Structure 1
Amino acid sequence: MNTAILAFLFDCIIGDPNTKFHPVALIGRLISALEHFLYRPQDSDARKFASGAILVLLVLLISYEAAAAIVMASYHIPFPWATEVVSALLVSFTISPKSLAKAGKAIYARLVMDDLAGARQRVGWIVGRETQNLDAGEVTRATIETIAENTNDGIIAPLFFFAIGGAPLAVFYRAANTMDSMIGYKNDKYLYFGRAAARLDDVLGYIPARITGLLFLVSAGFLGFDARNALRMLRRDAKKHPSPNGGCCEAPMAGALHIRLGGYNTYFGKQYFRAYMGEPLRPLAAPQIMESIRMMYTATILFLICGTIVFQIMGR
């Protein structure tokens, strides 16, 4: 796990470089190119599903093999630490604690300055729902929900797959998650074409999401939040989430902070209701964004500590 710790430190120091050559950006461009080639609006639903599945297989294969080739090439660098550093850099590109915290802090800053328009714009950069009509409480809710879910999707899950299969498997997961975020929508265009990507992301995220939920329980205890209520909400409300994994992250976060997540969201002009998680013991307010960021960082550090202990016991 030394490589994972180094990756986390790289992210804390460097963050995600804003460049078109970022691996996740390259994966996104690959997905877009393959979508342009494979998607045909006139195709039958079955053919759209098959085309989407082919896209998934191609993206996963290319992403994994490219990462594996980079790691293999690093063996030829005449320094004993080169492969570990290269692997750590690759893994650091698959995790995003600094970017997630930066986005949350920017929204928090707009809210405390009563710049609701700026807060709406900022939260619109990190969520899929429409944000132009959200009030301050709904902006806070959207931000916390994103931080909770992305603690799994953008941090714990990539580190989990690195732990079991090295940097190429972390990139493999990140590619799958990126496909879900780009084509895994339940709208007219992607309902069938993006179904394979959405289902794969659910399967890959199943175990990491439950680890994230447990880490949030422990984090709540360390930070002085309500760990007992977090456990109660995890048991009671996690299954209400439309995603098989999202509730495992959002429910304990809501319980720990004594807030209620879920409610009405608007996507592509249509309003949908997401089941409530947690109880509104506190009104949604900007300071809770900072509390959720502390939960995110604490859960990440706990995962790295626990992983290091497990690897020591296993002699790896």
Structure 2
Amino acid sequence: MERAALLVLALIVDALIGDPPWLPHPIRLIGNAIEKGERWLRRKPLSPGQDFCHGLGLVVGVVLSSYALAWLVLQALTALSWWVGQGAAVILGSLCLARRSLKEHARAVFHPLCAGDLSRARIMLARMVSRETVDLPEVEIVRGTLESVAENSSDGVLAPLCYLALGGVPLALAYKAVNTLDSMLGYHTERYEYFGKAAARLDDLVNLVPARLTALALVTAAWIYGACGLAYDGAAAWDIAWRDGHKHASPNAGYPEAALAGA
């Protein structure tokens, strides 16, 4: 199947069904593998250097395994039937995307917020962010939602699309493995300062271009909506994205967040 067709069909399937709970999700399988791998690698005390090397080994193993297993599964299914193989590629490709899921999560915060139900909005926001949401005021709920939408527009939509276009489903799943490793291990805490460093740095690297492309996409959308008479400002989105994007603690997340703030 041509990559362009794969991208379009994966987007359509994601828009139609999203991430149905009855369908085994490869990201959950990757997460389970990371959890078990960490438990096995850290079964005894390690020095900081050993901790880093073990974390690096887990990153290499999970990423390469994700790529290889996706490639082998698709090759085997295609050998059985071309149609089965292509159908599996489209479904797996759609599961690498989170456009519908992101929209649903954002709306789940927006609707109670509009109704004045801050308690419900805080509960829904907690499903999108890792920070504590119990006592957040309305303005911080809005801010947290927009930040999550901006960052995940890159991590969950544009970046997977880029890697799907470059290397098909195997590369897209390898990217999602990197993203999952970072979300589970990439923290500046005593537990993960060394073990999670490789995951965090690799995630920074693979998102370097997609994050900036996401900022450009948000700027373009703001220009288009502004030209249609809606209250969006593409010029401000552009200026603020490149003025403030680099100020974020993350080398990538700041660009789409700043673009959305400016829009």
Map of 1:3 onto structure 2: 6
Aligned equivalents of 2:111 and 2:117: distance in 1? Answer: 8
Confirm or deny that 1:236 pairs with 2:243: yes
**Which runs of 5 or more residues in structure 1 are unaligned?**
257-316
Question: Counterpart of 2:47?
Answer: 44
- Structure 2: distance between partners of 1:119 and 1:39: 38
Please state how far the C-alpha of 1:40 moved relative to its aligned partner. 5.0
Partner of 2:165: 163
Equivalent residue number for residue 136 of structure 2: 134
- Paired residue for 2:152? 150
Q: What does residue 85 of structure 2 align with?
A: 83
What secondary structure sits across from 2:79 in the alignment?
Answer: coil
Q: Rate the CA distance shift 1:20–1:132 in 2: closer, same or farther, 3 A.
A: farther
Give the C-alpha shift of residue 75 in structure 1: 1.7
1:206 aligns with 2:208: yes
Identity of paired residues, percent? 40
- Alignment partner, residue 255 of structure 2: 248
Q: Which amino acid aligns with 1:247?
A: G
Seen in structure 2, the aligned counterparts of structure 1 residues 235 and 42 have a Cα distance that, compared at 3 Å, is: same
Q: Structure 2 counterpart of 1:38, which letter?
A: L
Contact 2:78 2:86 in 1 (8 A): no
The 5 Å alignment of 1:68-79 reads 68-79=71-82
Q: Deviation at 1:42?
A: 3.0
Worse-superposed segment, 236-245 or 114-123:
114-123
Kept in 1: contact 2:222–2:234 (CA 8 A)? yes
Confirm or deny: 8 A CA contact 1:41 1:189 kept in the other structure. Answer: no
Kindly provide the CA deviation profile for residues 234-280 of structure 1, in whole angstroms up to 9, marking residues without a partner as x: 12100101111101110111000xxxxxxxxxxxxxxxxxxxxxxxx
Q: Distance in 1 between matches of 2:257 and 2:39?
A: 34
TM-score by length of 1: 0.78
- Post-superposition shift, 1:20? 7.8
Alignment of 1:1-316 (within 5 A): 1-19=4-22, 21-40=24-43, 42-79=45-82, 81-224=83-226, 225-256=232-263
Confirm or deny: 8 A CA contact 1:87 1:167 kept in the other structure: yes
Distance in 2 between the 1:137 and 1:110 partners?
Answer: 14
Alpha-carbon RMSD across the aligned residues, in angstroms, is: 1.3
Aligned length: 255
Moved over 3 A (4+): none
For normalisation by structure 2, the TM-score amounts to 0.93
Q: Which amino acid in the other structure matches residue 59 of structure 1?
A: V
